[in-house]
Structure 1
C-alpha cells in the first residue's frame, strides 16, 4: 500500500464533454495528470476515481495535490500542504493606480472593480437609503449586491425578483423580519432569506443600521412590496449566523469561517468571513463570482494591468475566472466578508 503523492500544487482546470467518463488519478503517479494512465497506481492500493459527465462544457477543477476529501475535485486542501500556499513574488511597481469616479468606483481589468459603499449617500437622504453595489448592469452575471442604511424606524418590504438573498450587518442593531418571522439583528451577523420570501429591517439604538444585501442570481434592482407576506419557509427555521472562532478553517496562513451555506438552506450561494495576514497572495482565479467586503485593515487589489487601494468599507467585485491578487498591507491584517455564487467553498482557486 502506498500513499498518494502531490502531482501538482494547484488543481487542473478542465472543460468536459457530456457522455464521456473521466478517470481521475488519485495516487499522484500518473504521467497523464490529472487523469489515470492505467498503470502507475499498480501496487499502491489507490484506485482512480471515475467521473461521468452529463453536462456538455462542464467546468471543473480536478485535484492536483491528491489530498482532497471531495475527489476527484479540488476542495482547497492544496493550501495547507507544505509549500501549498505561496505568496506572490515581487511584481513591478509601475502598474497604474485605478482612479475613483464620481460614484466611488475604481475600475480595474474587465468587469473587476472596487466600490466605496457609502460614497454617494446624499446629505438629504431619508431614514432609509439604498444604493446598488453589484448588478447585471455593472457586469455581474451571478449575483447582485445593495447597501442599505436605516437611521430610524422600518425599511420598505423588500424582495429579490430572482431568488435567494443573503445579508451582512455592517453596523448598528435592530431586527429583520422575513415573511412574518422576526429575528434579532446585530453587527457582524449573516442572514439567509430564501427565494420567494420578503424581508424588512427595524432599526434600534443610537447608531444607524447598515446592511449589505446580496441577491442571487443577479438582478438590477430589489422589489418593494406593499405588504409583508406571511409565507416563511419553516423547513429552515434558523436564518442567522454569527462569528464563531471555533468554526474557523485554515487556508495556509489565512483562515475563514462559513456563515450562510447549505447548513441553513442556501444551496448555491455561500457567505464567509475571513482573516488575511500582512501578505500578498499569488495571482489566481475562481470558478465562482465573488463580492468581497473589507471590514478592517487596508491593502491593494492587483489585476494584470492595474491596481487599486482598498480599505474598510470598500467592496471588491471579482468576475468568474478573473485573475487577481489581494494584498494586505496592514500589520494587524485584514478582515473580510465574502459572498460567492455559484459555489460552496471559498478555499478553491486555481
Structure 2
C-alpha cells in the first residue's frame, strides 16, 4: 500500500484525525461512524455534516459489553468503521518520534541472570540463549507465557543441533513457528514439509509436530491462546486438517505492505487457517517510532540490527535473537539504531493486522 493507493479520483473524505479513536462499547448499542470526516462528534456522525457530500454514516452494533474497538479517524480505511492502518500511508499520517522534550528518554535497564530485561509493567526483552548449555543436542525454553505476565500468547525458544525433537503439541490451541536458522523438516500429523530458514510454519489446534534437523535449527514456537508449556507425546497423532494444506510460508518481496517508511509482510494468517493470531516479518529503517499502543499482545523477534525498546519510565537494548514482549494497550516505542536498519518477526494475538495502533 502506498500513498498512491489513496489518491482520490472524485470527492474525498476529510481526514478528521490521523490516528484511530479508541472506544469501549455497550452490548446491543448501535454506533454511527462518520465516513465523511466532517462530523463535529468524531468519530461518530453528528446527523448533518455529511449532507451533500455523497458519504453516509456506517452503523455498527456492539457484540458485548466492554468491546474494545479502534474507529478509523482518517476515513480511508477499507474495513469501515474500523482502522486498517491506512493512515500510515497518507500525507502526514506516519510520524517518527523526535528528540523534543515530549519524548521520554528513561535510563536503560540491565538484563538479569536469565537474560531478561524488565521494563514498564509486564513488558520485557529477553535473550533466549543467555546462559544456555550449548552442549545439549536439544533444548526448549519458555520465553513468553502466563507465568511471565502474558495473557494471550506463549513463546518457546527451540534449539536442535541434530536428529529430531520429541513430538510436541500445544494442547487445544494453535501453534506458529518461526524457523530462525538451519534447515530440515517439520512433520505435522501424517504430513511432512521441508523448512529452510527463514520461514514460518503453522500447526492447527488438535495437531502435533516434530522437527528434524538437516543442519542445526533455531526456532521460536508460539502458542495462541497462551499455554504454560508444550507437551510431549509418545506417538504422533495422524490428525492433519486437510482443509488447510499449506503450512509453510516464506519471505516474498511481492507481498510487502508499506507502513510509512517501514514495511511488513504477513506470513501465517487467515489465508492459511490462523484466524485469531498472525505472524509477520517487517523492516524498520534507522528511526524511532512515536509512542503508541496496540489492542493485541505482541512478541517481536529481532532478526538483525540493534535497537532500544522505550517505555514510559524505562528502556532496554535489543539485538539479533532477542525477543520483546508487549502487553495489550501498553505504551511503547521501538527505535532502530543500526545504520542498515532492523528486521523483525512479530506474532500478534488476538489480532490480524500489525499496521493498526493508536
- TM-score tier after normalising by the smaller chain length: over 0.9
Q: 1:315 aligns with which of 309, 323, 342?
A: 323
CA distance, structure 2, for counterparts of residue 222 and residue 123 of structure 1: 21
SS in 1 for 2:163: coil
**CA distance change for structure 1 residues 75 and 195 in 2, over 3 Å: closer, same or farther?**
same
Alpha-carbon offset, residue 120 of structure 1 = 3.0
Q: 2:131 aligns with which of 101, 120, 124?
A: 120
Q: Corresponding residue for 2:7? A: none
CA distance, structure 1, for counterparts of residue 62 and residue 224 of structure 2: 26
CA distance, structure 1, for counterparts of residue 68 and residue 278 of structure 2: 19
Does the alignment pair 1:214 with 2:222?
yes
Q: Is the 8 A contact 2:21 2:72 kept in 1?
A: yes
Q: Corresponding residue for 1:25? A: 34
Q: Corresponding residue for 1:43? A: 52
Q: Corresponding residue for 1:282? A: 290
Q: Corresponding residue for 1:190? A: 200
Alpha-carbon offset, residue 2 of structure 1 = 3.7
Q: Deviations over 1:72-95 (max 9, x none)?
A: 000000100011000112156751
Q: Is the 8 A contact 2:104 2:312 kept in 1?
A: no
Q: Deviations over 1:129-158 (max 9, x none)?
A: 110110000000000000101111110000
Does the alignment pair 1:181 with 2:191?
yes
SS in 2 for 1:137: helix
CA distance, structure 2, for counterparts of residue 284 and residue 123 of structure 1: 37
Q: Deviations over 1:85-142 (max 9, x none)?
A: 00112156751111110110000000000000111311442x1111011000000000
Q: Corresponding residue for 1:3? A: 12
Q: 2:349 aligns with which of 317, 321, 341?
A: 341
Does the alignment pair 1:161 with 2:171?
yes
Q: Corresponding residue for 2:87? A: 78
SS in 2 for 1:83: coil
Alpha-carbon offset, residue 323 of structure 1 = 0.3
Q: Corresponding residue for 1:131? A: 141
Does the alignment pair 1:52 with 2:41?
no
Q: Corresponding residue for 2:5? A: none
Q: Give TM-score scaled by structure 1 length.
A: 0.98
Q: Where does structure 1 lack aligned partners over 5 or more consecutive residues?
A: none
CA distance, structure 2, for counterparts of residue 10 and residue 124 of structure 1: 49
Does the alignment pair 1:111 with 2:122?
yes
CA distance, structure 2, for counterparts of residue 33 and residue 20 of structure 1: 17
Q: Map of 1:53-68 to 2, 5 A cutoff? A: 53-68=62-77
Q: Corresponding residue for 2:159? A: 149
Q: Map of 1:285-300 to 2, 5 A cutoff? A: 285-300=293-308
Q: Give TM-score scaled by structure 2 length.
A: 0.95
Which of 272-281 and 90-99 deviates more?
90-99
Aligned length: 347
Q: Corresponding residue for 1:251? A: 259
Alpha-carbon offset, residue 20 of structure 1 = 0.5
